[in-house]
Structure 1
């Protein structure tokens, strides 16, 4: 087992130093590799050199029996393929048994998003006379107004905000930086929160922090904390919809495209490396356009 841990740690170091991978990606890779190690132990396999095609087929069967999505299975296979590619490069294994494994066809679910009326209702639930209400309003305005990821939001610092140009300096996946504009609603909410609410929250902590969003004790807000805040806002708004930070990101992109924004611009705002990642939002637009056509054109239906 010590050998496996050493090889995993070597790979993690490679991801950090050579690939400049994000903390989120590294944590996901570690989880996937450790999951595979557990499977190896259950099959009495103690070395990565012993892994072969037939063993991987058993592993795949186990993943299917757990009813994991094709996307999750594909991600785990991709991680292990990269892991073995690294081990092969370092001459720690002789071959990569994952090269001959076909990836399951990925699902392309249409992203869930909020309708504009639902969001408008959400913007009215925070008590703007309290520090936490000011924080929650700024959080909601920023997530929807910029489309940034929750991982990018939680690490946002005061120095990353330029109020004169109304832009954020965002450090995204792979520590790549990009500038994202924000609108007047987000600017007003951020100003109120930073000048009043944040100062009150910060006074409750003995430690100084530069993070924009703080918890009730004055420490940096976590990703889990952001999800809990959004869940409570939906409950307060008496909405019967699910909410998660990425749904606001989906809404941001969908509403931009519905209003005529081009894909390349949306790709840049979202920080997508490939345009194909952004193209999922065109499906939403196509569905909307088809519904408009079917309900509006005099020759659409008999």
Structure 2
């Protein structure tokens, strides 16, 4: 079965042109699945039927896996067996009559305006790295961009004279996001006074906007660690991540009256249902505040 798996991943990379992270996710799921087959002495993929797949999925549920994990596994297996069927490696696709559990949409975690102000005040702006961290926080909160979009931001994507940033989002879709005056001020401060000091003079200049202390592109892990550390220093007890800033951006501007369609465009959501969850969150927060402060609630 090793050759079939290898040819499948070559297909995903070269023909489907899926992202590296998506392929890694599929690889992790199929490795788990094939370990299960080996453990149960099932050495031929052609003999795997619907009952075998249901038994495997049930074993995941019995081990305590969440519905979202099962949904992702089913998606991975569906893609895999569809490929095997197309290549006539198997006669029938045993996944075609297996439905995933209904995905439970959990409300995103956000922080309050007061907590956001405390977080923004944390970087030590007397140092180049502190100015960089303040600029990172301000830009992420001002634009709602994803962490991957932020770390891949290049100098050519900045249109500060027009108060816009160009972002390359999911599916290679470009969008222009307005940049507020405060975020623009900190970004200019970083570009003029901090970034030149972070550039490694011994190597070719990196085109990305945000750099680490070695003059290389800032990594996803680096941003996550910095935000987690600053949140703890700010006394924020919730376990937040860079995506918390994106959620907070969307929730705060919807609470302030922004149209959900505008927020959808800013976030780069292809489906408005992904954006409408912030409307629900805003209503829940409104009810919470009402119940907390109204004398007859």
What is the TM-score when the length of structure 1 is the normalising length?
0.91
Q: Deviations over 1:196-226 (max 9, x none)?
A: 2111111366232101111111111111111
- 1:105 — aligned with what? 102
How many residue pairs align between the two structures?
A: 296
TM-superposed CA distance for 1:23, in Å, is: 3.3
Unaligned runs of 5+ in 2: none
**SS state of the match for residue 96, structure 2?**
helix
CA distance in 2, matches of 1:283, 1:227: 27
- 1:202 — aligned with what? 199
- 2:61 — aligned with what? 64
- Whether the 8 Å contact between 1:160 and 1:169 is mirrored in structure 2 is yes
TM-superposed CA distance for 1:74, in Å, is: 0.4
CA distance in 2, matches of 1:182, 1:260: 18
- 1:268 — aligned with what? 265
CA distance in 2, matches of 1:177, 1:166: 16
- Whether the 8 Å contact between 1:12 and 1:30 is mirrored in structure 2 is no
Q: Deviations over 1:63-116 (max 9, x none)?
A: 223422211210121122123223323333322211211211211211110100
- Whether the 8 Å contact between 1:149 and 1:249 is mirrored in structure 2 is yes
CA RMSD, Structure 1 to Structure 2 (Å): 2.0
1:3-42 matches, within 5 Å, as 3-16=4-17, 21-42=18-39
CA distance in 2, matches of 1:38, 1:175: 34
1:172 aligns with 2:161: no
Q: 1:277 aligns with which of 274, 277, 285?
A: 274
What is the TM-score when the length of structure 2 is the normalising length?
0.92
- Whether the 8 Å contact between 1:257 and 1:281 is mirrored in structure 2 is yes
CA distance in 1, matches of 2:32, 2:10: 15
**SS state of the match for residue 166, structure 2?**
strand
CA distance in 1, matches of 2:173, 2:44: 36
Q: Deviations over 1:227-278 (max 9, x none)?
A: 0110111122233221101111110111111111111111111111111111
CA distance in 2, matches of 1:207, 1:125: 32
1:228 aligns with 2:229: no
Q: 1:259 aligns with which of 228, 236, 256?
A: 256
- Whether the 8 Å contact between 1:204 and 1:217 is mirrored in structure 2 is no
TM-superposed CA distance for 1:129, in Å, is: 1.6
**SS state of the match for residue 98, structure 1?**
coil
**SS state of the match for residue 112, structure 1?**
coil
CA distance in 1, matches of 2:155, 2:211: 12
- Whether the 8 Å contact between 2:12 and 2:23 is mirrored in structure 1 is no
Q: 1:149 aligns with which of 126, 146, 160?
A: 146
- Whether the 8 Å contact between 1:135 and 1:213 is mirrored in structure 2 is yes
Unaligned runs of 5+ in 1: none
- Whether the 8 Å contact between 1:4 and 1:48 is mirrored in structure 2 is no
CA distance in 2, matches of 1:42, 1:130: 55
**SS state of the match for residue 138, structure 2?**
helix
TM-superposed CA distance for 1:3, in Å, is: 2.9
- Whether the 8 Å contact between 1:167 and 1:180 is mirrored in structure 2 is yes
1:104-143 matches, within 5 Å, as 104-143=101-140
Q: Deviations over 1:124-176 (max 9, x none)?
A: 11111211101111111111111111111111111111101121111111111
Cα 1:175–1:4 shift into 2, 3 Å: same
